[in-house]
Amino acid sequence: MARRRRAVVTGGAGFLGAHLCRRLLAEDFAVVCLDNLSTGLTDNVSQLLELDTFEFVQADVTTGVRIGGPVDVVLHFASPASPTAYLTMPVETLEVGSVGTLNALELARRNQARFVLASTSEVYGDPQVNPQPETYWGNVNPVGPRGVYDEAKRFAEASAMAYRRSHEIDTAIVRIFNTYGPRMRPDDGRAVPTFVRQALLGEPLTVTGDGLQTRSLCYVDDLVEGIFRVVLSDLPGPVNLGNPQELTVVDLARRVIEVTGSLSGIVPVPRPADDPMVRRPDISLARTALGWEPRIDLTEGLRSTIAWFRRNLDAKPAAELNEEAAS
């Protein structure tokens, strides 16, 4: 009988990591989830602990990765990912992108395993090219407040390629664009969880600046499908994974109000430094090499996300809030 493939997911108790763990388990992988819980949540993986094919290790990837037994795939997803998180933990973000990446690569090297790096569209910075192809080198401010995340990921990409060239490790880089779905933290700070939380609580939705900056939102199940196809491929990347459908932030706020049925209004707040004006992936490579593109439209994805927030957020139903507002 063939041995079950075994994957290590760093940051596996985070939003994306937890979804990825579930997908790997569903595909008959044994999974080791490694997380220091700085931004991840044990609730995200607590139901998986009953499975004999799942192991949770609370550890920090920056202090080394000690995993016994064979490893076939290393998926390095450990990092603060929202601006709220990485601006609060700037040094830790740089450490996990540098030392943490090198430690995860060493684990892959010792096991001759496939290595998949979760990079980001933020390597493109505030792009002067739209949509952004993988060949675009970006427009990043390395000394701005967001530089800790952008440059950590750029260093991580360079490290993956160095290991590929120098140690012949089977590495891959996925550049993840704006993703949303269940299991996002309500205090995440990114647009979708912020808007959904505010709408469900009957608070004004806070849009930064004039709200005309654009984002391209991919539902988490679509993204995980793309990542899994990268795992099974020999594609080195970098490869963009995201939704090429672009919309303004203020239009997103209006859509959330519509889907939640909230009577919340929209108020402007100051726009953060180095906030990208546009964000849209060119996914030609993913379509050609992986046969992948997003399938779930924004309204359907928002409905699933909002339903999860209703179950997990201490909020009154929108209908109840509407009655109070009308009285």
Distances (CA, A) of 245 to 182, 196, 275, 298: 20, 20, 19, 9
Among the options 86, 124, 149, 180, which is catalytic? 149
What are 2's two structure tokens?
A: 């063939």
Distances (CA, A) of 195 to 16, 150, 226, 288: 19, 24, 26, 34
- The answer to whether residue 219 is catalytic is no
CA geometry: angle at 296 spanning 295 and 298, to 5°?
A: 135
Q: Quick one: CA dihedral 8, 240, 28, 39, positive or negative?
A: positive
Let me know: does 14 contact 77? Beta carbons within 8 Å.
Answer: yes
What are 294's two structure tokens?
A: 């997003």
Helix (H, G, I), strand (E, B) or coil at 1: coil
Let me know: does 134 contact 237? Beta carbons within 8 Å.
Answer: yes
CA distance 142 to 149: 9
CA distance 43 to 93: 23
CA distance 125 to 146: 9
* φ and ψ at residue 34, rounded to 5 degrees: -115, 125
CA distance 93 to 109: 23
Q: Which residues are marked as active site?
A: 149
